[in-house]
Amino acid sequence: MKFGLFYQIQVPKPWDDESTAKRIWEALDQIVYAEEVGYESVWFSEHHFRPVWSHNSAPDLTLAAVTQRTSRIRMGIGVVLAPIHHPLHAAARMATLDILSRGRVDVGLGRTGYPYQLTPYGSDLEDTRGMWEEFAEVLPKAWTQEVTSYDGQYFKIPPREVLPKPLQKPHPPLWSACGSDETVRLAAEMGLGALVGSEGGPEKVGNLLDLYRKTVKSATPKGMINNQNALMTAGFCHEDPKVVETRGVELVNWYLEQQRERARLVWKGVDPATVPPDYQGYYEKDMRLAAGPHPGEKTAQEVVNQGRSFLVGTPEDCIKFVEEYEAMGVEQVFSLNAIGPESHEETMNTLKMFGEHIIPYFKAKEKALGDNAS
């Protein structure tokens, strides 16, 4: 099992002139410490126009700073929003980041489920799948071919020398956000790694990974096959169960409420009749979420006590959480440890708990399995 960090750069109100800057500066210090205690990767999301939830519109620039303060930890973007970028621009920026990091970059691709992010860039929901697919075809070409050309529905590229080329050969691993059977199947068919969220619980994650493993066997990739998977979750770890019961629950409650705020924002002004068929599921889910909480829904306290949707608890609780997902084939766990109102000191303590207890536990477990096998 490998462990990574995941950042949204969440900035709760009230704000001052340096609120966002402080969060970014703190993240850099946290990542340096995480590398020291055994984390193996750090991922940054890309979101636009999402106040409080994510002030992280240029993740490649933040990761460029990370390249100069670390030497081992891998870094990924989870995910590049294909419908608001040009693939040649993304290819050049990711290749540059790969050079700066000396070959430590992973690149996730996604469509975005929110018209609120798309419309300022002139993109439409009904085009996002096709743009995402073409993006995933163009990137390996741009990275590996001396002269690249492409004739797609959304991107028309005459023969051009795309430079620089990435340091990793044949190219950096490509991943996809995978939240439904459709996206899992498509990602696997294209040979992309699977980034799966934990909020649906172990049963949903297990079903998605089963489908992914079955489908990726017959992948027809445009570049190299990346058949890795990773679980993305929110995390808070403290040695004192009483702190978990109070502060941990507060943070999960904030996280859940912000999900409702997101749902209320991202479909604002959209006529339901115009929602494309492949977005109906997202729309209906968000409308229900926006109208919540509903009777019978789990409270933050119940979510934490159950210990199956978020990586929140004592070191023992966190080990139990990871082992349940490990048993179904999860290979890596990326945790969002800087949750909203959480202080820098609290996040550093979570990293300390992982470095002292959780990461060593799984390394010892892996070593024991290797020794037994030999």
What domains sit in the chain, N to C, each tagged with a CATH number? 2-373 (3.20.20.30)
Q: Is the pLDDT of residue 215 over 80?
A: yes
In sequence order, which residues have a C-beta less than 8 Å from that of residue 248 and are 6 or more positions away? 236, 238, 304, 312, 313
Residue 38, pLDDT score: 98
User: Cα–Cα distance between 308 and 306 in angstroms, integer?
Assistant: 6
CA angle 323, 5, 354 (to 5 degrees): 55
- Tell me the average pLDDT of the chain: 96
Tens digit of pLDDT for each residue in 71-130?
999 999 999 999 999 999 999 999 999 999 999 999 999 998 789 999 999 999 999 999
Beta bridge partners of 107: 77, 174
Q: What is the mean pLDDT of residues 299-320?
A: 96
What is the per-residue pLDDT across 13-57, written as a single tens digit (0 to 9) for each? 999 999 999 999 999 999 999 999 999 999 999 999 999 999 999
Span 327-348, mean pLDDT?
A: 97
Query: What percent of the chain is modeled with pLDDT above 90?
Result: 94
How far apart are the C-alpha atoms of 141 and 145, rounded to whole Å?
5
| pLDDT band of 374, cuts 50, 70, 90 | low
Does residue 200 contact residue 178 with C-beta atoms inside 8 Å? Answer: no
218-262 per-position pLDDT tens digit: 999 989 999 999 999 999 999 999 999 999 999 999 999 999 999
